[in-house]
Amino acid sequence: MIKVVIVDDEPKLRQGLQTLIPWGSLGYTVVAAAGNGREALKIIEEEAPEVVVADIRMPVMDGLQLIEQVRAAGHNTQFIILSGYADFEYAKQAIRYGVAGYLLKPVNIGEMSATLQLVRERIEEEERKRTSPQTETLDRDLYLHRLLVPQEKPGESIRLGAGIGQPDWLWSGSYEVVVIVPRVPEAELPDALNRLAAGLKAMAEERDLGAVTIISPYVVLLLNAPLRGSQRRDNLYGEIRNIAAGIRFIAATGGAVTEAGLICNSYSKAREAAKLSFFSDRDRLLEPDYPPVCPPVPAGLTEDNNEEYMRDLILRLYYCLDVGNKAMVAQLLNEAAAMYCGQRQDENHVKQAFFFLCNGIIHKLAAASRLEGKETEKVSHFLNGIYQHDRLQQLIEDIRRFLLDFVEESDTQGKEHEFKRMIDFIHKHYAEDLKLSTLAGLLNYSTPYLGQLFRMKTGEYFNTYLDKVRIQRAKELLAQGMKVYEVAEQVGYTSVNYFFSKFKKYEGRSPSDYKNP
């Protein structure tokens, strides 16, 4: 049985996890529980558990500090992290630490069980690797590996006559490398590689195409003649798909080379091409230097202002849901995709960025009481699913559909409907840094036109109307006994002096006078 330690500062949650999760049937046993990271460290030293289930935010020592301490001590422990909606920054670090699972509170029994199943398979596979006897490497595979992996001296040619087990076709003088990467969970990778390699070897030997070997995580097909033309590439891709028989995969070519000593170059280019599969437009044999399929990069966006841009994007998407602008949700998501494509970010970086983007929006929805308890499982499933997508366009579409479930709907339409939405929006978000240009962008109007429309409908300039909404709310808070500087911040003024001047302008007296008549 796999030993587990549960770490959480909430006694009810610790007890709930121990009693509600079917640990025994999943192959686990809970050996201890702790209320914080410091207590857990002592238990981990004594019990040496394979798995730790820990809350991300705890007193004395939180989940992240616990991971750091355990990693520093050299323990090969798998961590499953539990997190609330508000733990956005903590979650970001947890993902970077390579935790085995990330679940939102309240914990769903089914989702926790599924995560534990995957973790157990990972542990069992690592154990098999440690204990299984090392089989002697076949001469043929050893020779192929020497061809594919760059030699110690760059540019040094392989001496064909001195190789061991070299196939006769290496004298052909023209080659091409194709790599196949199974898209399966880590625990299933060895089996998938062996199945694909066996099928490809049978095909290659039957048709005298070349040789096949495994260099994890790749199955490598070394062709004894280059693929000429798109039809041959498409045909080979179709044959690989038939051999895969349901295994999801990526296939990429490194292009033709004219001597055995350059086969390593084709292999290197094939691996680089495979890394760009996430940005491709369809299932195909990927090629070196194939341009990613992405929208145009937003003007003025650089890597230096990425974080500021993402914070603004979270806010704009949240606002779009609030005013019901479905079209702009898709536009903004495509804009984010274009940013990462333009900066040549890798697949994991892009998925991580969209994870944090969605988590930021979900946090705002939860803070505004727009998420019901029954939706927690749906949200958790969606966030974890972000990392399972094979294509960027599929990921964008999935995020778009998910976010549109939270769009504020209304029975009325037309300009009157839009204007009512705008007024409601101001009354909900008055405490934020609202600008007329922000509303104009959300409603697809020019800023000057919306300003004229607003004044015509309300008789007030936008900023005047916003000030009056803020001052009215300030009066209510002052009447409740809040301090002046607290009220100023609560209603959206960063300067207390500025708040004083605005209050006196509209009320004819200072906030202090209003508070103490």
- What CATH number is attached to the domain comprising 218? 3.30.70.270
User: What mean pLDDT comes out for the span 425-440?
Assistant: 80
Over the stretch 322-366, which tens digit does the pLDDT of each residue have?
Answer: 777 788 888 888 888 887 776 667 788 888 888 988 988 888 888
- Give residue 350's domain range: 303-404
Q: What is the mean pLDDT of the chain?
A: 81
Q: Are residues 240 and 266 in the same domain?
A: yes
Q: Are strands 218-223 and 28-34 parallel, antiparallel or unpaired?
A: unpaired
pLDDT at residue 511, as a whole number: 85
Q: Which of 77, 97, 131 is the last residue of a domain?
A: 131
Asked if residue 150 belongs to a domain, the reply is yes
How does residue 164 score in pLDDT terms, banded at 50, 70 and 90?
A: very low
Give the total residue count for the chain: 517
Residue 132: pLDDT over 90: no
How does residue 144 score in pLDDT terms, banded at 50, 70 and 90?
A: confident
In the block, tokens 């495509």 appear at: 334
How does residue 311 score in pLDDT terms, banded at 50, 70 and 90?
A: confident
Rounded to the nearest 10 degrees, the angle between the axes of helix 414-429 and helix 447-458 is: 90
Q: Are residues 18 and 90 in the same domain?
A: yes
> Which span out of 105-119, 123-137, 427-441, 452-466 was modeled with the highest average pLDDT?
105-119
Q: Are residues 324 and 370 in the same domain?
A: yes
Q: Are residues 391 and 420 in the same domain?
A: no
Q: Are residues 107 and 37 in the same domain?
A: yes
Q: CA nearest 181: which of 283, 291, 275, 282?
A: 275
Q: Which of 371, 404, 437 is the last residue of a domain?
A: 404
Sign of CA dihedral 262, 267, 272, 277: positive
Q: Are residues 145 and 228 in the same domain?
A: yes
Sign of CA dihedral 152, 157, 162, 165: positive
Residue 292: pLDDT over 70: no
Residue 374: pLDDT over 50: yes
User: What mean pLDDT comes out for the span 75-99?
Assistant: 75
Q: Which of 386, 404, 422 is the last residue of a domain?
A: 404
Sign of CA dihedral 433, 435, 437, 443: positive
Look up residue 394 and give its two tokens: 């599929």
How does residue 291 score in pLDDT terms, banded at 50, 70 and 90?
A: low
Asked if residue 295 belongs to a domain, the reply is no
Q: Are residues 122 and 166 in the same domain?
A: no
Does residue 217 have a cis peptide bond before it, meaning omega lies within 30 degrees of 0?
yes
How does residue 254 score in pLDDT terms, banded at 50, 70 and 90?
A: very high
Asked if residue 285 belongs to a domain, the reply is no
Asked if residue 291 belongs to a domain, the reply is no
Asked if residue 290 belongs to a domain, the reply is no
Asked if residue 95 belongs to a domain, the reply is yes
User: What mean pLDDT comes out for the span 299-321?
Assistant: 71
Is residue 208 within 8 A of residue 169, CB to CB? The reply is: yes
Helix (H), strand (E) at residue 221: strand 218-223
How does residue 180 score in pLDDT terms, banded at 50, 70 and 90?
A: very high
Whole-number Å distance between alpha carbons of 346 and 349: 5
How far CA 287 is from CA of 236, 294, 345, 355, in Å, comes to 13, 17, 18, 29
pLDDT at residue 276, as a whole number: 81
Q: Are strands 218-223 and 101-104 parallel, antiparallel or unpaired?
A: unpaired
Over the stretch 498-517, which tens digit does the pLDDT of each residue have?
Answer: 888 888 888 888 888 776 55
Whole-number Å distance between alpha carbons of 496 and 32: 52
- What CATH number is attached to the domain comprising 476? 1.10.10.60
Q: Are residues 383 and 353 in the same domain?
A: yes
Is 243 or 125 the better-scoring residue by pLDDT? 243
- What CATH number is attached to the domain comprising 120? 3.40.50.2300
Percent of the chain exceeding pLDDT 90 equals 22
Residue 137: pLDDT over 50: no
Q: Are residues 180 and 269 in the same domain?
A: yes
pLDDT at residue 56, as a whole number: 86
Look up residue 323 and give its two tokens: 């005013």
Q: CA nearest 329: which of 244, 441, 227?
A: 441
Asked if residue 511 belongs to a domain, the reply is yes
Residue 138: pLDDT over 60: no
Over the stretch 278-289, which tens digit does the pLDDT of each residue have?
Answer: 887 667 888 887
Residue 89: pLDDT over 70: no
Q: What are phi and psi of 217, to 5 degrees?
A: -95, 30
pLDDT at residue 4, as a whole number: 96
Q: Are residues 109 and 16 in the same domain?
A: yes
Whole-number Å distance between alpha carbons of 295 and 280: 12
pLDDT at residue 451, as a whole number: 80
Asked if residue 21 belongs to a domain, the reply is yes
Q: Are residues 41 and 115 in the same domain?
A: yes
How does residue 260 score in pLDDT terms, banded at 50, 70 and 90?
A: confident
Q: Are residues 264 and 163 in the same domain?
A: yes
Is 255 or 205 the better-scoring residue by pLDDT? 255
Over the stretch 6-61, which tens digit does the pLDDT of each residue have?
Answer: 999 999 999 999 999 999 999 999 999 999 999 999 999 999 999 999 998 888 99
Is residue 175 within 8 A of residue 224, CB to CB? The reply is: yes
All residues at 6 or more sequence positions from 493 whose CB lies less than 8 Å from its CB, including other chains: 470, 499, 502
Count of domains observed in the chain: 4
pLDDT at residue 151, as a whole number: 53
